[in-house]
Amino acid sequence: MILMTQNSGVKLMAAFNSCKFFLLCGVLLVMEFSPAFVMAQHAYININSPLIRKIPVAIPFFKAFTGHEEEVALGKNAVDIMSSALDFTGYLAVMDRGAFIENPSQKGITGSEINYKNWTIIGSELLITGGIVEQDGAVRLELRLFDPFKETLLIGKVYTGHKADIKSMIYRFCAEISLLLTGKLGVFGSRIAFVSTVSGNKEIFTCDFDGGNISRITNFNNITMSPSWSSDGNFLAFTSYAKGNPDLYIRDLRANKDVVVSKKGLNITPAWLPGQFALAATLSFSGDQDIYLLTGSGEVKRQLTKEMGIDISPAFSPDGTKFAFVSKRSGTPQIYIGDTGSGSASRLTFKGSYNTSPAWSPDGDKIAYVGVVKNSINIYVIGANGGEPTQLTSGQGDNEDPSWSPDGNLIAFSSTRQGASRIFVMTSTGSDQRLLFTFGGAQTDPTWSLAYGNK
Amino acid sequence: MGKKIVVRIMVLLFLSAMMLTVSCAKKSVATDPSTGIENQGAQDGLSAEEIARQKALEEERLREEALRKAIAAEREQFENQDIYFDFDSAELVPDARMLLKEKADFLTRNSGLTVTIEGHCDERGTTEYNLALGERRAMSAKRYLQDLGIAEFRLNTISYGEERPAVQGNDESAWSRNRRGHFVIR
């Protein structure tokens, strides 16, 4: 039945199960159709390619099977969620429905009911059809992805559940599409933490990957900043002056409880060790600012950097064996790569005299960072092993705080290009730079959760 | 910050007003040359000795008042005069050292006071890095004051990075005033 590669299917289920992407296990039933043949991963898109061309995808209106008013409305809502989610990826171009020749919501949504020529002639390289049945709040959603040129069904799924779960169903199907096209699950269902001054003070908020569903996390009425997600999305570490000193907070989001690390001096720049209940942070109780490894309960385990001078902003490689950080040991702030085991470190950036805020890509091969050149603050990407940096932003305000999306396809960042600082998103090659959402005050420090379905 | 300054100005105005009132009162009673002290004393039934004592007390009170005022002014100067730093630097420039010597003198004369040294940065660069840089600025000032003989336990430090700028603006004139060490008596 599962006709994607065995591996990808297992990966998908493991990710969904462990991260509770679906809280509706048992409620929601997923059935699969049989695509005609097995697609190889990465068959369509290499999202790391700077020459990426957007694939045109047609998403005609969904068919309302019984046709009553609420069903039609839910179908309309579902197709809108699908369109904006896929448009968000940056590698799909959702086509204008005005160009469509046939109407699957009337004619039918299955392969035998589709005239592929009607889609190839308008340049649609992918086609998504959907059908919905609603009865007393229970919903059955049929979704299919076709390749009109190859005249094949690529993915076919039926989701059943409550009508409140439609968004999750759509995101899950989008994740299937992403996995098929790019080999990765994508961003659907992930959340972003950020700092906002909307209340007058810097406080931490979270939102959906697409900027929707904003919720406030802290209420300290003081400076609070630098959010960092644990891998499972259940904990947020951050810095707050709530008690007067810059202390490190480790918040259990489920229990809404804080552990506070409040040593003398700085307790700042937390970064979780991937897959573990442990994190690194900069502490200065010794009189020097060094990076330490702490347990998730806030106990200091060991010191990771030992050189005199500023050592801050750790960012672990996906396997946790290495960490990027900022050090001033050479006289100017530069990015270094440290070994988590031995603590030995080597310098990564050599261009420019001010490079900070490293973010390690989920693939492990790249590091995004902030470079300041002649008062111009921009985001750059460099290979984790060094090489020539690529500048991703330029000529538009100050651009800071890069954070990778879980699939490595997108980078969230803050920018003052429209005045007050706002959260923007771009692809990993710097294309498609767009505002994520508008909100009061200034927004900074976007941090993408690598987990799915955090509340 | 703005609020603090307003409060200080009000306190100053109040103190000056008090001083004026005091001098007026003094004139009418004791130093009005047209009336003369002797006559007044005789009229009120006070001895010359008592009048002299009263005068001495009044003068002492004024001296203390002036001293208090001077101390308050000095205290204010201590808190209001920031030391400034170069971009991305925690090194003390000559002007900063001069000011710190004055501050050390003040702290030596006022041995009961403890101080919090705040390290601040301009808005350029990243917030996280600026937290670290701000702390190093505060530490530089602290170490220098220690070298000048001020006990460590009297000197606390805190970094606010770029979170609490003294002035708004994104040019060098604003930046240079925000890269500072600020002193607060506790």
Question: Does the pLDDT of residue B3 top 90, yes or no?
Answer: no
Q: Given this model, what pLDDT does residue A398 score?
A: 94
Counting residues of chain A whose pLDDT is more than 90, the rounded percentage is: 84
Q: What is the mean pLDDT of chain B?
A: 84
Chains A–B, number of C-beta pairs less than 8 Å apart: 69
Any chain B CB within 8 A of the CB of A282?
A: yes
Q: Given this model, what pLDDT does residue A40 score?
A: 42
Q: Given this model, what pLDDT does residue B47 score?
A: 86
Kindly indicate the confidence band of residue A453, based on its pLDDT and cuts at 50, 70 and 90.
very low
Question: Does the pLDDT of residue B22 top 60, yes or no?
Answer: no
Q: Given this model, what pLDDT does residue A2 score?
A: 32
Over the stretch B68-124, which tens digit does the pLDDT of each residue have? 898 889 999 999 999 999 999 999 999 999 999 999 999 999 999 999 999 999 998
User: What average pLDDT does range A426-442 have in this prediction?
Assistant: 95
Task: Report the candidate in B79, B78, B72 with the shortest Cα–Cα distance to residue B18.
Answer: B72
Name the β-bridge partners of B81.
Answer: none
Any chain B CB within 8 A of the CB of A201?
A: no
Question: Does the pLDDT of residue A79 top 60, yes or no?
Answer: yes
Binary contact (B131, A401; C-beta < 8 A) = no
Select the residue of B125, B132, B158 nearest A245 (Cβ to Cβ): B158
DSSP string, A245-287: S-EEEEEETTTTEEEEE--SS-EEEEEEPTTSSEEEEEE-TTS
In this predicted model, which residue has the larger pLDDT, B14 or A71?
A71
Any chain B CB within 8 A of the CB of A245?
A: yes
DSSP string, A57-126: EE-PPPEESS--HHHHHHHHHHHHHHHHHHHHTSSEEEPPGGG-S--HHHH-SSGGG--THHHHTTT-SE
Query: Choosing among B86, B118, B123, B126, which should be mutated to test the A contact, i.e. which has the most A CBs within 10 A?
Result: B126
Q: Given this model, what pLDDT does residue A33 score?
A: 56
Q: Given this model, what pLDDT does residue B43 score?
A: 52
Query: Which segment, A37-51, A58-72, B47-61, is predicted with the most confidence on average?
Result: A58-72
Name the β-bridge partners of A337.
Answer: A324, A346
What type of residue sits at position A132? I
Q: How many CA atoms lie within 13 A of A410 on its CB side?
A: 32
Question: Other C-beta atoms within 10 Å of A233: how many?
Answer: 22
Interatomic CA distance for residues A83 and B69, integer angstroms: 71
Over the stretch A112-133, which tens digit does the pLDDT of each residue have? 999 999 999 999 999 999 999 9
Any chain B CB within 8 A of the CB of A433?
A: no
Domain positions in chain A are 6-182, 191-448
User: What average pLDDT does range A393-410 have in this prediction?
Assistant: 95
Q: Given this model, what pLDDT does residue B21 score?
A: 46
Question: Other C-beta atoms within 10 Å of B109: how many?
Answer: 10
CA distances from A333 to A4, A329, A351, B125, B126 (A): 46, 8, 11, 10, 11
Q: What is the mean pLDDT of chain A?
A: 90
Burial classification of residue A265, based on how many CB atoms lie within 10 Å of its CB (0-12 exposed, 13-18 middle, 19 or more buried): buried
**CATH no. of B83-185:** 3.30.1330.60
Interatomic CA distance for residues B80 and B68, integer angstroms: 18
Over the stretch B139-168, which tens digit does the pLDDT of each residue have? 999 999 999 999 999 999 999 999 999 999
Q: Which residues of A touch B131 (CB under 8 A)?
A: 239, 246, 266, 268-269, 312
Question: Does the pLDDT of residue A14 top 50, yes or no?
Answer: no
Over the stretch A357-368, which tens digit does the pLDDT of each residue have? 999 999 999 999
Q: Given this model, what pLDDT does residue A251 score?
A: 98
Binary contact (B125, A266; C-beta < 8 A) = no
DSSP A336: E
Q: Given this model, what pLDDT does residue B170 score?
A: 84
Q: pTM here?
A: 0.82
| CA atoms A76, A82, A85, A91: torsion sign | negative
Any chain B CB within 8 A of the CB of A289?
A: yes
DSSP A54: P
Interatomic CA distance for residues A421 and A400, integer angstroms: 9
Over the stretch A219-268, which tens digit does the pLDDT of each residue have? 999 999 999 999 999 999 999 999 999 999 999 999 999 999 999 999 99
Is B152:B146 a contact under the CB 8 Å cutoff? Answer: yes
Question: Does the pLDDT of residue B17 top 60, yes or no?
Answer: no
State residue A324 phi and psi, 5-degree precision: -85, 150
Question: Does the pLDDT of residue A1 top 60, yes or no?
Answer: no
- The total number of residues shown for chain A amounts to 455
Binary contact (B131, A326; C-beta < 8 A) = no
- Give SS3 for A183: coil
CA A77 remoteness from chain centre: 23
Token pair of A188, please? 């659907």
Report the topology of domain A6-182. Answer: Rossmann fold (3.40.50)
- Give SS3 for B131: helix
Task: Report the candidate in B116, B118, B117 with the shortest Cα–Cα distance to residue B164.
Answer: B118
As a whole number of angstroms, the longest Cα–Cα distance in chain A is 73
Question: Does the pLDDT of residue A447 top 90, yes or no?
Answer: yes
Task: Report the candidate in A159, A107, A168 with the shortest Cα–Cα distance to residue A138.
Answer: A159
Domain positions in chain B are 2-78, 83-185
Kindly indicate the confidence band of residue A39, based on its pLDDT and cuts at 50, 70 and 90.
very low
Q: Given this model, what pLDDT does residue A330 score?
A: 94
CA distances from A142 to A204, A293, B55, B177 (A): 38, 48, 101, 63
User: Does an H or E element contain B185, and which?
Assistant: strand B180-185
Burial classification of residue A303, based on how many CB atoms lie within 10 Å of its CB (0-12 exposed, 13-18 middle, 19 or more buried): middle
Interatomic CA distance for residues A340 and A337, integer angstroms: 9
Any chain B CB within 8 A of the CB of A223?
A: yes
Task: Report the candidate in A163, A109, A153 with the shortest Cα–Cα distance to residue A131.
Answer: A109
Question: Other C-beta atoms within 10 Å of A55: how many?
Answer: 16
Select the residue of B125, B159, B163 nearest A266 (Cβ to Cβ): B159
Over the stretch A278-311, which tens digit does the pLDDT of each residue have? 999 999 999 999 999 999 999 999 999 999 999 9
Q: Given this model, what pLDDT does residue A183 score?
A: 87
User: Does an H or E element contain A22, and which?
Assistant: none
As a whole number of angstroms, the longest Cα–Cα distance in chain B is 77
CA distances from A45 to A51, A65, A174, A177 (A): 11, 34, 15, 11
In this predicted model, which residue has the larger pLDDT, A296 or A31?
A296
- The total number of residues shown for chain B amounts to 186
Right CATH for A191-448 from 2.120.10.30, 3.30.70.980, 3.60.20.10, 4.10.910.10: 2.120.10.30
Token pair of A375, please? 């008062």
Q: Given this model, what pLDDT does residue A16 score?
A: 43
